[in-house]
Amino acid sequence: MELVFPKRAPAGAPTGSPVERLERLLAELEQRLSGLVERGLAACTRASFDGSGLEGGIADAIVTPEAVEDVLICVDACGRAGVPLTVRGGGTGRAGGAIPLRGGIVLVMTRLDAVAWQGEVLVAGAGARVAAVERALAERGQVLSARPYGDPAVSTLGGLIGSGGAAVHARRTGGLAPHVRRLQTVTGAGELIRTGALAAGPLPTWDLTRLLIGSEGGLAIVTEVALTGVTLRPTRRVVRVLRDSEALATALRAAGQDSSVAAGCWLSASAARALFDDGARVPDGGALWLTDEDAAPSAAKGSEAALSDLEGRLTAQLTAAHPRHTLVRFAPRIPIEIIASCIDAFETAATLAGLAAWCMGDELGTVHLVVAAPDDDPGRFERATDVLEGVVEAALDHGAAAVGAFGSGLLAPRWLRRERGMQLDLLNQLKTVFDPHGIMNPGKLPKTRR
């Protein structure tokens, strides 16, 4: 394994005003990466939003590398100029992770998309579309161990690694991380490093792969991923109507004990009615509980991947049904013991605030809380976030994880500070080692309090 540790920042800060530094940087990039730099306002604006609908900064330029060397050049030049660099895959993330909060360069990875088998391991460029990776795995009867909810034809493997790689059938597969053999990345210090090992078996000790997975482009840019797929057993879809949130908690607990349940997804009554014609059979306060359970091949129906599509389908449906509204959302992972009270508290708080609300979740305890805030109401975001924050705040006291899905991005820094405590100190120190110039996706990892 080739491993080159990142160097610390060289002494001396970049000279000149921010505008001068940016102009110098753009001139250098246009000269060294001719044809790969785009500065048009329309393109820069398009590359500055993602599936979250949140607003942040606007990129000053887009660089679309065709080779790892181009990434190295871009990181080196941005580091010397002290200009922010935000890495982007397909821009389908729901947390604003790919939004260039402080402007600068957006590095679009989609041309690094080669996919090839190397023995039993699939080696793919970070810009490979998830659909292309899934096709390659399917040649050997395998599937990706974490299907993201974003459109697989658009979202990239690097984006999935960047946002953590957990998803609906993570219960059975453990998510993406256990199946990643090796990552090739370019750190914010401009060093090419390889972590993990191609050889089979768990990740080696003293290895950085697990740290880099889910680091949202804040430490390093993933350029290549070596992974294995998984083979899922045949399943059939079972659908149950549950009378209330206590019955849902009981069903989730039972699923946690039952190894024949491969994946599960529940919808609140409002979400079930929004998605299914016969959703009205779910009583107020109740839920629709869908599971994929082991079945003999002859009885196998449905697919676990389809369960992971439900969140996207619900969002599309709500967006269409609520024009002139903004959907405000959060997705904590909540211990099953308190899930019923959290759901009830969320629905009550939304009713009191006069906001339409929906929720759904998976068998792991991830709960998607969605509130529609009317665009013509100036206090809409405050009221909507008050509803969400009240629930998350209470859940954190009982061991919830603020970020159960989507990644942290612009949504969760406030919660990371509360949840991670002293760990945040160490993360910030590590970030300084990986990213000595402070250019990598800045503004996302909250600073420590002291």
Ligand X SMILES: Cc1cc2nc3c(=O)[nH]c(=O)nc-3n(C[C@H](O)[C@H](O)[C@H](O)COP(=O)(O)OP(=O)(O)OC[C@H]3O[C@@H](n4cnc5c(N)ncnc54)[C@H](O)[C@@H]3O)c2cc1C
Contacts to ligand X by CB under 6 A: 50-51, 86-94, 97-98, 109, 126, 148-150, 155-156, 158-160, 162-167, 216-217, 221-222, 311-312, 405-407, 409, 441
Contact 218, 435 (CB under 8 A): yes
CB of 174 to ligand X, least distance (A): 13
Contact 233, 260 (CB under 8 A): no
Q: Please say which residue, 54 or 222, places its beta carbon nearer to ligand X.
A: 222
In angstroms, the Cα distances linking 101 to 243, 316, 338 are 44, 26, 35
Residue 187, strand partner residues: 220
Q: Please say which residue, 209 or 383, places its beta carbon nearer to ligand X.
A: 209
Residue 84: strand, helix, or coil: coil
Q: Please say which residue, 265 or 391, places its beta carbon nearer to ligand X.
A: 265
Residues 6+ apart with CB under 8 A from 32: 73, 77
Q: What are phi and psi of 355, to 5 degrees?
A: -115, 140
CB of 283 to ligand X, least distance (A): 26
Q: Please say which residue, 77 or 353, places its beta carbon nearer to ligand X.
A: 77
CB of 258 to ligand X, least distance (A): 22
Q: Please say which residue, 353 or 369, places its beta carbon nearer to ligand X.
A: 369
CB of 107 to ligand X, least distance (A): 8
Please tell me the distance from the alpha carbon of residue 146 to that of residue 354, in angstroms, as a whole number. Answer: 36
Residues 6+ apart with CB under 8 A from 27: none
CB of 372 to ligand X, least distance (A): 16
CB of 12 to ligand X, least distance (A): 28
In angstroms, the Cα distances linking 295 to 79, 111, 238, 289 are 54, 40, 11, 18
Q: Please say which residue, 93 or 286, places its beta carbon nearer to ligand X.
A: 93
CB of 438 to ligand X, least distance (A): 16
Q: Please say which residue, 286 or 446, places its beta carbon nearer to ligand X.
A: 446
Q: Please say which residue, 92 or 270, places its beta carbon nearer to ligand X.
A: 92
Neighbour order of strands in the sheet with 367-374: 235-242, 287-294, 261-268, 356-362, 367-374, 325-330
Residue 183: strand, helix, or coil: strand
Q: How many CA atoms lie within 13 A of 219 on its CB side?
A: 23
Task: Tell me the CA end-to-end span of the chain in Å, nearest whole number.
Answer: 38
CB of 335 to ligand X, least distance (A): 17
CB of 285 to ligand X, least distance (A): 25
Contact 128, 159 (CB under 8 A): no
Q: Which of 61, 37, 64 is nearest to 48 (CA)?
A: 61
Q: Please say which residue, 132 or 222, places its beta carbon nearer to ligand X.
A: 222
Helices (H), 149-279: 157-162, 170-173, 209-212, 245-257, 269-275
Q: Please say which residue, 221 or 339, places its beta carbon nearer to ligand X.
A: 221
Q: Please say which residue, 168 or 288, places its beta carbon nearer to ligand X.
A: 168
CB of 229 to ligand X, least distance (A): 16
For residue 230, give the DSSP letter.
Answer: B
Q: Mark 88-112 as b/e (b = at least 16 C-beta within 10 Å).
A: bbbbbbbbbbbbbbebbbbbbbbeb
CB of 92 to ligand X, least distance (A): 3
Contact 366, 263 (CB under 8 A): no
